[in-house]
A and B are shown apart, each in its own frame.
Chain A
């Protein structure tokens, strides 16, 4: 790796300067000759195609069932209403699922960040015996498929009486997400030169003070990025929740949404309501994600590039 990149450096000289063609003499945007207009047209077409399912979900959620039953799709919600949302929320199960999802996710994110932070500091600031084994273990553990472990996790959680409990699920989520979080955070920690802290210590701060005042603030973006990643993982998780929460009354949002479709599988599917329910589950995540995504990607990349 010739370009050791820190997250901080990442956006500095992005493609913006190159792509906007500020250096006309040298065409630095290789290797294609087609004009930019064609590229732009392709890009816009791809964008429309890619976003269509999301649009379709929102569009359908606003339409009355009568309209959705037609064999000719309605492409714009001209006569749209929020009735489907009202019907979905009236049920009340949504809020119980929301509460359970929030609790499980927040507990998992908190412990995940705490544990991963400590571990990331250990592996990127210290050389010690077993360091390599630990890094390797982290790498392998994050490859373990949830579907390969859920029976054992079920038996274990059941044997301590924590089926259908927020704690049982949180413990498994924390364990499942911690490896990836460590992986992401180590890139960030390694990106902050230890010299900074040492300089502060020369100036008379204690090690802890130096760390808290110098390194920790610089790490904040990394913690946010990893926290968001952990949040999304836990929030969207389906398989483990399916296994560890067998009770009807204990459902996370993904389980609730699936149950919603299944329930309507017996009669004619109420697609308007199903789409409203899907939108309710998706929109908060999408908004949250859009706000913070840039940091996530650079976090992932710096983790990957750092090796």
Chain B
């Protein structure tokens, strides 16, 4: 760290002689980065390293009371890999992530296009209602949804029950994993679609009218205009929102925890976030919890790898 800083002015000076973007001569950018780097090292870097180290250790209750933690190599990972509970959690989490993220993206895209197709007053109405949902703090939103899905007095069961031939009176949504995760997914989609819709809409407003008109004059069909002009232009936005949705939906925690508060804490109702939490805070098995955490990190990096790589390539070209 300190050596980097010491050589910084020298490096910056060297860099400056190249004709490229560097326009500034004075103090090295490294000084500007110090505060951010320091806080990141403290808040994220150190915990990450600790977590990695601990994932190779036996770190249970005994270690909590001061016993030294023994290194056990990959034992925690092996134990996880052979644990059927864990596989259930992983498969559920991945399914939940993919279904929820893609549905969010699809609905968000449709709503963004819808916003461009309606008049100003209608668009504002739609935007305000989406904003209200977006701005709801997660915990507050969860309490409302739990109330909406309340078994006996929830308005969802009441309304569904009014449909002829449907008997949903006192249907317990949160007692069966399938409907539990359906509800979770609906809530997460409700909360995340506004972000996607607004981002894509902002992207759509940047598509140039002239280009579209020119294409139309050249005989491009609406589909071709969508496929060859609009889509490529908003692709960066779609890529980043999809990536963020995937990452956020993989680590969804608050929603699941609060639904479990209202329903069941059995392990079939766990996703990776709550599973780690139970291992760590509940069973005090920090070694195993760390191993699962590292697994989630690797999974996240794998999911975002393609995006990060393409971003790096662009950076090289610029």
Q: Chain A residues with Cβ under 8 A from B290's Cβ?
A: 151-152
- Contact pick for A73, options B135, B155, B300, CB 8 Å: B155
Q: Tell me the smallest distance from the CB of A152 to a CB of chain B, in Å.
A: 3
- The reply to whether A118 and B32 contact each other, CB–CB distance below 8 Å, is yes
Cα-based distance from A25 to B113 in the complex (angstroms): 21
A28-B209, A43-B126, A44-B122 known; A149-B293 Cβ under 8 A: yes
- The reply to whether B29 and A128 contact each other, CB–CB distance below 8 Å, is yes
Cα-based distance from A254 to B253 in the complex (angstroms): 13
Q: Mark B285-318, 1 if CB is under 8 A from A, else 0.
A: 0100110011011001100100010011011000
Q: Chain B residues with Cβ under 8 A from A13's Cβ?
A: 205, 208-209
Interface of A is mostly: helix
Residues on B close to A: CB < 8 A? 4, 8, 11-12, 15, 18, 20-24, 26, 28-30, 32-33, 35-37, 39-40, 42-44, 46-48, 50-51, 54, 111, 113-120, 122-123, 125-126, 128-141, 143-148, 150, 152-153, 155, 158, 190, 193-194, 198-199, 201-206, 208-209, 212-213, 216-217, 221-223, 225-226, 230, 233, 236-237, 239-241, 247, 250-251, 253-254, 258, 261-262, 272-273, 276-277, 280-281, 286, 289-290, 293-294, 296-297, 300-301, 304, 308, 311-312, 314-315
Q: Chain B residues with Cβ under 8 A from A254's Cβ?
A: 137-139, 254
- The reply to whether A152 and B51 contact each other, CB–CB distance below 8 Å, is yes
Q: Mark A238-280, 1 if CB is under 8 A from B, else 0.
A: 1100010000000001100110011001000001001101110
Q: Chain A residues with Cβ under 8 A from B54's Cβ?
A: 151-152
Name which of B44, B198, B221, B230 has the most chain A CB atoms within 10 A of its CB.
Answer: B44
Cα-based distance from A243 to B44 in the complex (angstroms): 15
Cα-based distance from A132 to B276 in the complex (angstroms): 32
- The reply to whether A53 and B141 contact each other, CB–CB distance below 8 Å, is yes
Q: Chain A residues with Cβ under 8 A from B118's Cβ?
A: 19, 36, 39-40, 43
Is A199's beta carbon under 8 Å from chain B? no
- The reply to whether B133 and A70 contact each other, CB–CB distance below 8 Å, is no
Q: Chain A residues with Cβ under 8 A from B205's Cβ?
A: 10-11, 13-15
- The reply to whether B4 and A130 contact each other, CB–CB distance below 8 Å, is yes
A130-B4, A239-B253, A307-B315 known; A258-B139 Cβ under 8 A: yes
CB closest chain-B residue, reference A262: B261
Q: Chain A residues with Cβ under 8 A from B20's Cβ?
A: 127
Q: Chain B residues with Cβ under 8 A from A87's Cβ?
A: none
Which stretch from A77-85, A88-96, A174-182, A215-223 is at the chain B interface?
Answer: A174-182
Q: Chain A residues with Cβ under 8 A from B50's Cβ?
A: 152, 155-156
Cα-based distance from A147 to B280 in the complex (angstroms): 10
- The reply to whether A178 and B133 contact each other, CB–CB distance below 8 Å, is no
Cα-based distance from A57 to B141 in the complex (angstroms): 9
The 10 nearest A-B residue pairs measured at CB: A175-B43, A31-B222, A152-B47, A289-B135, A148-B293, A145-B251, A30-B222, A122-B29, A51-B129, A122-B32
Name which of B12, B135, B236 has the most chain A CB atoms within 10 A of its CB.
Answer: B135
